[in-house]
Chain A
Amino acid sequence: MPAGSLMEVKKVGRTVMEAQEIARAISRVAHEIIEHNHGIEGVALVGIRTGGVYLANRLAVKLGEIEGASVPVGALDITLYRDDLDARKEQPTLRRTEIPFDITDRKVILVDDVLFTGRTTRAAMDGLIDFGRPSEIQLAVLVDRGHRQLPIKATYVGKNLPTAIGETVEVYLEEMGRPDGVVILTP
């Protein structure tokens, strides 16, 4: 089947989170971060491109509101650390990694939109460690959809979402130019 026709297969979408729920989840995760780390001192957020970066920025705003102090935010592109580059026909588009602060001895919270196999998180940890030696790495995700292939567990979860392996979970954020929402697509 040519690639073009694959795109035409209609997937049925089911919305599982709307804007208000996403906002609440971010707010709750922000409180959990503060509780877990006894404040935000020494805490830094690093979002995984692309969705994770927007979520990291939203978390930083929330943390700032609650604690009255700012948290440094970075962006990590994990493409160069992927373990499936050989298996792909196309190279994924590279984006810049921007971590404008020293991560050594900080508690770095990786932020991602969806936690699935755990391979992205593995790649992100490898990528992060090339920038220094954080005192701790934590993981915050908006959605944990299960089906882990690596022994990885999120520290903070916005929503646990049971899914079938063949389904796709899409997280839409306003920063990408469409209304906030989490949708499960069934083939």
Chain B
Amino acid sequence: MSLKRKDLLGMADLSVEEIQLILQTADSFKEVSGRDIKKVPTLRGKTVVNLFFEPSTRTRTSFELAAKRLSADVINFAASTSSVVKGETLLDTASNIEAMQADFIVLRHPSPGAPGILARSLRASVVNAGDGSHEHPTQALLDLFTLREKKREFKGLCLVIVGDIAHSRVARSNISALVKLGAEVRVAGPPTMMPRHIEELGVRVFFNLDEALKGADVIMMLRLQIERQGIALFPSIREYSRIYGLTPERLRLAERDVLVMHPGPINRGVEISPEVADSGASVILDQVTNGVAIRMAVLYLLSAGR
């Protein structure tokens, strides 16, 4: 079986079978990353372009490592964040990259749907590395991989996503995948950060974090986008932290073997207390390790879809 698609744009259009295939393939790549020689010749001669219109260390490094461990050549193309990129500029950039014979374009862009535009106009495979508040599929996949490693089954798992649900592509990608896989998904956050009609995605909405945490097997904290504070979604960081921050006391409301996840970068003492971030329940660094294996799997599987 293989992914019969050229691009990975989001979790919404992946079937359960495709998700399982990516996770299963990542198992093998995790083994490769554990070797002394962390490199296989699979994508030798292929070119991966990391095209980032937003700042990122983790995701870009992770994609770069994944490509290099598959023996592909990598070019990092960082567009400055200050130049807001309009539609035609993006397509111009795209045709330049096409002219360089790139095989994969990994795109992060502030506009939802930007990877889809590139995917339609290019022969290269496009991987969405985050498009605005829309999707971040490889993050969701690495979260799923980590969950599967620790909890084995998705069915019946009770999972709480906490924070700015409205602006989070991580939340959107995860909700769409986890509901499909049969998990019970709750979302918690202040009303100003809760999109209307989110229940229609099959999740339960909580404005009280303590209520949401009761019986939770997994808590997925989202980063508080402090840079958005000007938009006045909450009165102060301190208040947010008091009402929606994950503390050791709150952690005790969840199941005993609860897992704490965070896509990073974490704001210690804001959405998550240092004690929780560094506790045994935290799998934050496992998520980072697994990210490389997931991205290797995605590049490998897409390389047949062209």
Asked if chains A and B come from one complex, the reply is: yes
Partner-B contacts on A (CB < 8 A): 77, 79-81, 85, 88-91, 93-98, 126-127, 130-132
> Is B230's CB within 8 Å of the partner chain A?
no
A88 to B35, CA, bound (A): 27
What chain A residues lie within 8 Å of B35 (beta carbons)?
A: 130-131
**9 closest cross-chain pairs (CB), A and B:** A80-B40, A94-B28, A91-B304, A90-B2, A91-B2, A80-B42, A130-B37, A94-B25, A96-B28
A77 to B2, CA, bound (A): 17
B42 and A85 contacting across the interface, CB-CB below 8 Å: yes
B-side interface size class: 20 to 34
What chain B residues lie within 8 Å of A79 (beta carbons)?
A: 28
Closest to A89 in B: B304
A131 to B37, CA, bound (A): 7
Interface of chain B residues 282 through 306 with chain A (CB within 8 A): 300-301, 303-304
Closest to A127 in B: B40
What's the dominant secondary structure at chain B's contact region?
loop
What chain A residues lie within 8 Å of B28 (beta carbons)?
A: 77, 79-80, 94-97
Interface of chain B residues 27 through 75 with chain A (CB within 8 A): 27-29, 31-32, 35-37, 39-42
Write the nearest CB–CB distance from A156 to chain B, whole angstroms.
Answer: 28
What chain B residues lie within 8 Å of A89 (beta carbons)?
A: 2, 304
A93 and B40 contacting across the interface, CB-CB below 8 Å: no
A85 and B304 contacting across the interface, CB-CB below 8 Å: yes
Closest to B25 in A: A94
Write the nearest CB–CB distance from A34 to chain B, whole angstroms.
Answer: 31
A80 touches which of B3, B41, B301 (Cβ 8 Å): B41
A95 to B25, CA, bound (A): 7
What chain B residues lie within 8 Å of A98 (beta carbons)?
A: 31
> Is B231's CB within 8 Å of the partner chain A?
no
| Other 11 A-B pairs with CB < 8 A, given A90-B2, A93-B24, A97-B31 | A79-B28, A80-B32, A80-B42, A85-B42, A85-B304, A89-B304, A91-B300, A94-B29, A95-B28, A96-B31, A97-B32
Closest to A82 in B: B42
What chain B residues lie within 8 Å of A130 (beta carbons)?
A: 35, 37, 39-40
Write the nearest CB–CB distance from B302 to chain A, whole angstroms.
Answer: 9
Write the nearest CB–CB distance from A139 to chain B, whole angstroms.
Answer: 21
A126 to B37, CA, bound (A): 12
B41 touches which of A94, A97, A126, A131 (Cβ 8 Å): A126
What chain A residues lie within 8 Å of B100 (beta carbons)?
A: none
What chain A residues lie within 8 Å of B3 (beta carbons)?
A: 91
A91 to B25, CA, bound (A): 11
B40 and A90 contacting across the interface, CB-CB below 8 Å: no
Write the nearest CB–CB distance from A177 to chain B, whole angstroms.
Answer: 19
A85 to B25, CA, bound (A): 15
A91 and B40 contacting across the interface, CB-CB below 8 Å: no
A96 to B2, CA, bound (A): 17
Closest to A123 in B: B41
Closest to A85 in B: B42
Write the nearest CB–CB distance from A130 to chain B, whole angstroms.
Answer: 5
Q: Given the known inter-chain contacts A91-B304, A94-B28, A130-B35, please indicate yes or no for A81 contacting B2, CB distance below 8 A.
A: no
Q: Given the known inter-chain contacts A91-B2, A94-B28, please indicate yes or no for A81 contacting B304, CB distance below 8 A.
A: no
What chain B residues lie within 8 Å of A90 (beta carbons)?
A: 1-2, 304
What chain B residues lie within 8 Å of A94 (beta carbons)?
A: 24-25, 27-29, 300
A91 and B301 contacting across the interface, CB-CB below 8 Å: yes
Write the nearest CB–CB distance from A49 to chain B, whole angstroms.
Answer: 10
Closest to B3 in A: A91
Write the nearest CB–CB distance from B20 to chain A, whole angstroms.
Answer: 12
Write the nearest CB–CB distance from A127 to chain B, whole angstroms.
Answer: 8
Write the nearest CB–CB distance from B288 to chain A, whole angstroms.
Answer: 21
For this complex, 23 residue pairs linking A to B, each with C-beta atoms less than 8 Å apart, are A77-B28, A80-B28, A80-B42, A80-B300, A81-B42, A85-B42, A85-B304, A88-B304, A89-B2, A90-B1, A91-B3, A91-B301, A91-B304, A93-B24, A94-B28, A95-B28, A96-B27, A96-B31, A98-B31, A127-B40, A130-B40, A131-B35, A132-B36
Write the nearest CB–CB distance from B100 to chain A, whole angstroms.
Answer: 19
A136 to B32, CA, bound (A): 23
Q: Given the known inter-chain contacts A80-B42, A81-B40, A130-B39, please indicate yes or no for A93 contacting B32, CB distance below 8 A.
A: no
B303 and A85 contacting across the interface, CB-CB below 8 Å: yes
